[in-house]
């Protein structure tokens, strides 16, 4: 089978299969084999990927992403958890890519060099390798310097920062703004004393 070409966002979305649950906790888009099959189908990968090896590859991915964003803070979903050591994570993902054994073919298309990669593995056996390759290619590229963990309240996502963008998406930017506003406008003891003296606010 031919491997997907645009894989940077696939790598980020794989890392972001941990999501906030809206209540300060974390939900897992790969919480069961059935959930994992849904996620894989949604990303045009075979749902026949091994569930355990998919989870192991995700742990390895999160460990490498957490290391890649340093000195910026890791996702809060990775704080306080026993992360996989980066050497182990790297070994695991490169092992998956090794099993995939991608063959690279270059061609000319209208004067431009194009590249395609393919594997002899069946799609089901290839899926975890495809994800592992996407993650390692991203982290080995200049884009690795742009990776950040979103620090908006509750968010646990990694994202690729563009220019002055601070948050992974507009809803996070809104939440962060609201939180900052609330922090600045928290009534202090003095404020409430003044409020009492001058009557209720109009
Ligand atoms: Zn976010």
For ligand 1, a single-atom ion, the residues with CB < 5 A are 150, 152, 155, 157, 168, 172
Q: Give distance in angstroms: CA of 25 to centre of ligand 1.
A: 14
pLDDT at 198: 43
Q: Give distance in angstroms: CA of 167 to centre of ligand 1.
A: 5
pLDDT at 201: 46
pTM of the model: 0.86
Q: Give distance in angstroms: CA of 69 to centre of ligand 1.
A: 15
pLDDT in tens, the chain (202 residues): 999 888 999 999 999 999 988 888 899 999 999 999 999 999 999 999 999 999 999 999 999 999 999 999 999 888 766 789 999 999 999 999 999 999 999 999 999 999 999 999 999 999 999 999 999 999 999 999 999 999 999 999 999 998 888 899 999 999 889 988 888 887 665 554 444 444 444 4
Q: Give distance in angstroms: CA of 170 to centre of ligand 1.
A: 8
Q: Give distance in angstroms: CA of 191 to centre of ligand 1.
A: 33
pLDDT at 165: 86
pLDDT at 81: 63
Q: Give distance in angstroms: CA of 159 to centre of ligand 1.
A: 8
pLDDT at 146: 94
pLDDT at 80: 61
Q: Give distance in angstroms: CA of 132 to centre of ligand 1.
A: 23
**What is the distance between the alpha carbons of residues 118 and 189, in angstroms, rounded to a whole number?**
66
What is the sign, positive or negative, of the torsion defined by CA atoms of 83, 85, 90, 93?
Answer: negative
Q: Give distance in angstroms: CA of 30 to centre of ligand 1.
A: 19
């Amino acid at each position: 089978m031919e491997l997907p070409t645009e894989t940077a966002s696939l790598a980020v979305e794989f890392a972001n299969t941990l999501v906030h649950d809206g209540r300060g906790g974390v939900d897992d888009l790969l919480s069961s084999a059935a959930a994992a099959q849904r996620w894989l189908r949604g990303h045009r990968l075979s749902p026949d990927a091994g569930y355990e090896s998919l989870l192991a590859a995700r742990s390895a991915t999160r460990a490498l992403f957490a290391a890649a964003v340093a000195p910026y803070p890791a996702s809060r979903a990775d704080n306080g958890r026993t992360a996989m050591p980066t050497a182990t994570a790297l070994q695991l993902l490169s092992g998956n890519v090794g099993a995939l054994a991608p063959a690279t073919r270059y061609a000319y298309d209208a004067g431009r060099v194009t590249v395609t990669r393919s594997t002899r593995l069946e799609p089901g056996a290839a899926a975890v390798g495809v994800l592992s390759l996407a993650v390692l290619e991203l982290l080995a590229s200049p884009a690795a310097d742009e990776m950040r963990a979103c620090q908006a309240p509750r968010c646990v996502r990694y994202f690729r920062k563009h220019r002055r963008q601070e948050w992974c998406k507009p809803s996070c930017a809104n939440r962060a703004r609201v939180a900052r506003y609330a922090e600045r406008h928290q009534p202090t003891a003095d404020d409430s004393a003044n409020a009492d003296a001058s009557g209720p606010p109009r």
